[in-house]
Structure formats: structure tokens, C-alpha cells
């Protein structure tokens, strides 16, 4: 059903309407600069936000000695507009701060626990907490291994918990302790695999060495020296701040409206994603990195800029040839002849992108209040970057087409996922040996926690599991394939869309009762999380 014309016009007008902002032009290096935030860009941003269903976006540019910023759409519906001072959850762009804090501590030479620098083994600092599934990893993994995502560990995001079953918060130490139950998928130092868990580990290292909460360390050592007065590590501090904290939204395609998400605490995200900030504050962080200024020494800046692990060309040639590398919370690659540092961040209903071009002293920060906004931000950032570089239209990256192609591929994948996981399934499904009523119950894995499978009326009697303890909230819906084999759709509660589909097999004992559920988290032949067996309890 379409929106009434009058309401749709108001929504679109709001998305297209830029919010007034201050700018500065205090050039001292003989270069010329002017604000990129013109009517043409406003229309482009509005179109992008409408296509990706983003309620609000804030964008800021560092160009030499000048800073320009702009807000688009709404921070909170129906009428609080997004501005450069709007607060957003910054997600994984937090990782660069966590790694930079470690770099500062190493550079200070004030901590004997860090005497071996980035080669310091993690277990030498947090031995009781840091126990990996394999003994070699426990004894040998270093701070650098964790920071550069080369530990052999896949994401294991579904095993990261914000709260216990009784609702009490999970501490950083408890989060790290869960690693002993999680299997690796590659030999350490051979393969780049993004792993949020390892930045939680680094955050815990900072807290143990410094003797205080990571958020306090970041405030004292980085944010306060840079004048980042609107940057926080805990949701309650951001809510109490004078700046407005944007509401997070997902788009309900059936009702054709934005639905507000619940604000969650970022404290439990630790070093992987605790930061809440504004694009205005992020320009201060960007300028520090571009100009290599205090509070970091030249040596510390050199460590921050160093490439540490080859990622490969994960963009499949869509954005030029050449491999990407990973360092201390930064991805580095050459685009249009310029070295670019970048990193994105996503929470359940927020997205952030930060791009730096050091040679040009140029940076773009974008923040938005939708879990799908990273793609929208990318389109906006690259429009600004390619305008700055003067790239002819025919040589520009066609992100709109690329993202559509990716979306189409994802749709095709979901349509064919039964053949991907079960290529040899019979044409006529074999009935399950278990009724839904026999399957309903609790299933437990020490690393992934409890699955509470219940039966709901979702277009018929359907098995579902709603997980409320993990940081990344997913709602599982089961689809029978054949026999005791099932497909399990994981619905992202931030976007209300299928984030992934898993294969599941219910195990049956000699008494004919369900004894467990084995989930295949990754299709055969692909690198990712190993299978997990949830035993019935």
C-alpha cells in the first residue's frame, strides 16, 4: 500500500531539505577551497537517502585547513532535523580509537606489560580471561594479530553478548572469556578475517593495563586533547549530553514508514563499537590523523598508518584493481591514484563512514540513523571524493549500479539457498521424524548460548527463536527442507530483513526424541564460522 500523497511529499521534502550549518575558510597553505554542500549535492543526497530509506544523515568534510558540514533529513521524526552536531552510534569506527589508545600506551613506555610493543602476547596481560579454543593461539597471539584481524577467528558475532539471560549486563572480561568456546576457521596469521571479538579483547587489555574503563581512557588520552566534547563511550552519557542523540530507524516496507528502534547500551560493545559521536567531532579526529599532530608522537602516528595484513581485493574489481590492507582499525587502498584510509561502522539502526586521503589533507565523515545506511553513505562519500579529485564522469565508480547488482545477487542467493545448502535434497520432501511440538524447547551451546525454540503462527505453524541476549539481535525462523534438515532464516532486528540463512539438522536419540540442533553457519567451501551443535537441555 502506498503512502498518502501528502505524507509522502512531506517525507521526501524533509529528506531533500539541507539544514543550515556553519563553515570556515581559514586557508594558510596557499590552496583554494570552497564548500561542496551545494544544491546539486543536496538533491543527490536526498535521492540516495530515499532509495536506501534513510531518515537522517550528517556529513562533514575536512579540506586542507577548512571544515564544511551539513545535515540532511531528520535525526528524530517527525521534526528534529539532522545537523553536524547530531549524535550517532559510530559502530566499528570505534576500532581505530581503541587501537590508537594501545599505540599511545606503547609509545609512552610507561607500562611494563607492553614492553614488547605490538608483539606483546595477549595472554601475558590477561591470561585468566584470554583462553582460545586452541592452546597455540592462547600462548602466541599478539596485540598486532588482534588489531589486524589475522588471528584465524571468523566473526562469531552471534556469540557476542550484551546481557545474561537474567538481563544483567555482560562485562568485558566475561565477553573475552567466551572465546575459549569458539572455534577458529583458519591458521593464525595466514588469512584476514574480520572479528569484532578481537577488538573487545584489545579494549579489555587497555582497561587492565590502565586500571580504568576504556571510555575514560579514550576521553582522557584522545577525545579531550582533541576537543571532542561530543564523543562518548556509553549511551547514558550521550542521552544526557546537550547535543541531540538521533533515533535509530528501520524501514517497514509493508507499512511504508520508518519504525523507531530501542536505544541499547554501547558499553558492552567495548573496543569493537562503544563510540557515540558527531561528524563535527570526527573532523577533529580526522585532522589529527591527517596532520599527524598531538596527542600522538610521530612514532605513534607511523604505527597507526602502518599496513599489517593483506586483505585481498574484497571489492571484486568494482572499485578498481589492487588489494586492500588492514592496520590499526583502518583499511587502506589506492583509488584513482590516491591512497585512501577508510572504515565503516554499523549498529542495529545506525551507520558511520570515515574516509581519509592523507596526501590531500582531505577527509569525509558521514553518519546516519539506519542500519542499511552504510551503502547510502558510501555513495555520498564517493561523490564528494570524486568531485574533489576531479574524476571525469566516465571514470567514476558506479556504486548505484554495483549496489543494485549486489542486492539482486543477495535476492537470488536467498531464492536458491535451499539448493546451496542441500543440493541433493529429494524432489518430494521426506517428512520430519519429529513434530514441531517435539522440537520446541531449549538448546544450548557454551559459546553461542541458549536457543529457545517456540512455535508461532507465522503464515502457519512455524518454529522460531527470538534471541535477546546477543549484541547483534537476530530472530530465527525455521523452514523445513526434508527429513530432519531445515533452513533457518536469521532476521536482523535492526533492518527487519533476512541477514543470512543457515542450515540446521535436528539430532534424534535412540528414543526418537530431539537431542540437539546442529547449525551450519557457513556454506561448504566458504570461509567462516564452523558448525555449532546446540544440545537440548
- Does residue 223 sit in the same domain as residue 361? yes
Domain count, the chain: 3
Report yes or no on 392 lying in a domain. Answer: no
Report yes or no on 399 lying in a domain. Answer: no
Which among 378, 481, 493 is positioned nearest to 428, based on CA atoms?
481
Find out whether 244 and 76 touch, Cβ atoms under 8 Å: yes
- Does residue 165 sit in the same domain as residue 194? yes
Report yes or no on 404 lying in a domain. Answer: no
For 298, the 3-state DSSP assignment is helix
- Does residue 75 sit in the same domain as residue 152? no
- Does residue 124 sit in the same domain as residue 226? no
Distances (CA, A) of 439 to 464, 483, 485: 11, 13, 12
- Does residue 236 sit in the same domain as residue 379? yes
Please report, for the domain that includes residue 24, its CATH number: 3.40.710.10
- Does residue 102 sit in the same domain as residue 75? no
Cα–Cα distance, 196 to 266 (Å, whole number): 14
Which residues lie below 8 Å from residue 464, measured CB to CB, with a gap of 6+?
453, 454, 455, 456, 458, 475, 476, 477, 478
Domain span including residue 358: 5-96+213-387
* pLDDT value of residue 348: 81
- Does residue 445 sit in the same domain as residue 312? no
* pLDDT value of residue 404: 80
Q: Write down which residue in 210, 233, 261 finishes a domain.
A: 210
For 83, the 3-state DSSP assignment is coil
- Does residue 79 sit in the same domain as residue 110? no
Report yes or no on 272 lying in a domain. Answer: yes
The structure's pTM equals: 0.91
Cα–Cα distance, 201 to 516 (Å, whole number): 31
- Does residue 237 sit in the same domain as residue 92? yes
- Does residue 230 sit in the same domain as residue 367? yes
Report yes or no on 463 lying in a domain. Answer: yes
* pLDDT value of residue 494: 61
Cα–Cα distance, 505 to 189 (Å, whole number): 33
β-partners of residue 58 are: 71, 367
- Does residue 179 sit in the same domain as residue 251? no
- Output the nine-digit C-alpha cell for 98: 581503541
Report yes or no on 394 lying in a domain. Answer: no
Report yes or no on 108 lying in a domain. Answer: yes
Q: Write down which residue in 338, 354, 387 finishes a domain.
A: 387
Which among 342, 400, 365, 319 is positioned nearest to 44, based on CA atoms?
400
* pLDDT value of residue 12: 28
- Does residue 296 sit in the same domain as residue 436? no
Please report, for the domain that includes residue 521, its CATH number: 2.40.128.600
Q: Write down which residue in 329, 354, 387 finishes a domain.
A: 387
Task: Name the helix (H) or strand (E) containing 177.
Answer: helix 172-177
Report yes or no on 348 lying in a domain. Answer: yes
In tens digits, the chain (537 residues) has pLDDT values of: 232 222 222 222 233 333 333 333 333 333 446 999 999 999 999 999 999 999 999 999 999 999 999 999 999 999 999 999 999 999 999 999 999 999 999 999 999 999 999 999 999 999 999 999 999 999 999 999 999 999 999 999 999 998 999 989 999 999 999 999 999 999 999 999 999 999 999 999 999 999 999 999 999 999 999 999 999 999 999 999 999 999 999 998 888 999 999 888 899 899 999 999 999 999 999 999 999 999 999 999 999 999 999 998 877 767 878 899 999 999 999 999 999 999 999 988 999 999 999 999 999 999 999 988 999 999 999 999 999 999 999 999 988 888 788 778 888 888 889 999 999 999 999 999 999 999 999 999 999 999 999 999 876 789 999 888 888 878 899 999 999 999 999 987 766 778 889 999 999 999 999 999 999 999 888 899 999 999 999
Amino acid at each position: 500500500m502506498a503512502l498518502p500523497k501528502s505524507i509522502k511529499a512531506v517525507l521526501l521534502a524533509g529528506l531533500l531539505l539541507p539544514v543550515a550549518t556553519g563553515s570556515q575558510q581559514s586557508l594558510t597553505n596557499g590552496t583554494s577551497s570552497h564548500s561542496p554542500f551545494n544544491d546539486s549535492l543536496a538533491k543527490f543526497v536526498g535521492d540516495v537517502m530515499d532509495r536506501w530509506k534513510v531518515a537522517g544523515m550528517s556529513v562533514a568534510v575536512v579540506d586542507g585547513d577548512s571544515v564544511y558540514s551539513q545535515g540532511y533529513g531528520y535525526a528524530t521524526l517527525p521534526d528534529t532535523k539532522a545537523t553536524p552536531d547530531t549524535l550517532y552510534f559510530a559502530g566499528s569506527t570505534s576500532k581505530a580509537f581503541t587501537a590508537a589508545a594501545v599505540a599511545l600506551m606503547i609509545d609512552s613506555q610507561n607500562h611494563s606489560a607492553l614492553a614488547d610493543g605490538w608483539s606483546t602476547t595477549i595472554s601475558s596481560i590477561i591470561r585468566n580471561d584470554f583462553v582460545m579454543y586452541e592452546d597455540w593461539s592462547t600462548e602466541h597471539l599478539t596485540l598486532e594479530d588482534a588489531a589486524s584481524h589475522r588471528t584465524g577467528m571468523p566473526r562469531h558475532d552471534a556469540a557476542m553478548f550484551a546481557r545474561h539471560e537474567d538481563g544483567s549486563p555482560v562485562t568485558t572480561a566475561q565477553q573475552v572469556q567466551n572465546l575459549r568456546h569458539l572455534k577458529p576457521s583458519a591458521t593464525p596469521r595466514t588469512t584476514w578475517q574480520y572479528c569484532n571479538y578481537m577488538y573487545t579483547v584489545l579494549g579489555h587489555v587497555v582497561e587492565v593495563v590502565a586500571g580504568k574503563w576504556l571510555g575514560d581512557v579514550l576521553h582522557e588520552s584522545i577525545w579531550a586533547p582533541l576537543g571532542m566534547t561530543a564523543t562518548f563511550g556509553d549511551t547514558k552519557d550521550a542521552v544526557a549530553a546537550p547535543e541531540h542523540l538521533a533515533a535509530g530507524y528501520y524501514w517497514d516496507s509493508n507499512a511504508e514508514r520508518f519504525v523507531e528502534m530501542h536505544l541499547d547500551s554501547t558499553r558492552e560493545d567495548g573496543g569493537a563499537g562503544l563510540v557515540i559521536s558527531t561528524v563535527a567531532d570526527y573532523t577533529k579526529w580526522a585532522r589529527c590523523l591527517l596532520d599527524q599532530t598531538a596527542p600522538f608522537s610521530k612514532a605513534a602516528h607511523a604505527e597507526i598508518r602502518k599496513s599489517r595484513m593483506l586483505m585481498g581485493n574484497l571489492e571484486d574489481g568494482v572499485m578498481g584493481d589492487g588489494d586492500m590492507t588492514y592496520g590499526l582499525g583502518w583499511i587502506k587502498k589506492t583509488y584513482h591514484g590516491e591512497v585512501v584510509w577508510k572504515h565503516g561502522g554499523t549498529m542495529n539502526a545506525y551507520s558511520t563512514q570515515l574516509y581519509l586521503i592523507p596526501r590531500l589533507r582531505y577527509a569525509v565523515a558521514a553518519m546516519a540513523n539506519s542500519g542499511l545506511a552504510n551503502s547510502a553513505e558510501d555513495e555520498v562519500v564517493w561523490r564528494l571524493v570524486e568531485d574533489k579529485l576531479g574524476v571525469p564522469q566516465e571514470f567514476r565508480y558506479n556504486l548505484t549500479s554495483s549496489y543494485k547488482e549486489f542486492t539482486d545477487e543477495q535476492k537470488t542467493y536467498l531464492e536458491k539457498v535451499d539448493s546451496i545448502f542441500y543440493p541433493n535434497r529429494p524432489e518430494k520432501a521426506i517428512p520430519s521424524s519429529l513434530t514441531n511440538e517435539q522440537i520446541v524447547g531449549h538448546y544450548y551451546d557454551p559459546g553461542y548460548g541458549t536457543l529457545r525454540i517456540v512455535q508461532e503462527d507465522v503464515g502457519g505453524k512455524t518454529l522460531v527463536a527470538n534471541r535477546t541476549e546477543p549484541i547483534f539481535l537476530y530472530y530465527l525462523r525455521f523452514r523445513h527442507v526434508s527429513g530432519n534438515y531445515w533452513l533457518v532464516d536469521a532476521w536482523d532486528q535492526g533492518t527487519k530483513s533476512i541477514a543470512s540463512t543457515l542450515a540446521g539438522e535436528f539430532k534424534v536419540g535412540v528414543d526418537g526424541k530431539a537431542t540437539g540442533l546442529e547449525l551450519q553457519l557457513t556454506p561448504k567451501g566458504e570461509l567462516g564460522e564452523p558448525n555449532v551443535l546446540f544440545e537440548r537441555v
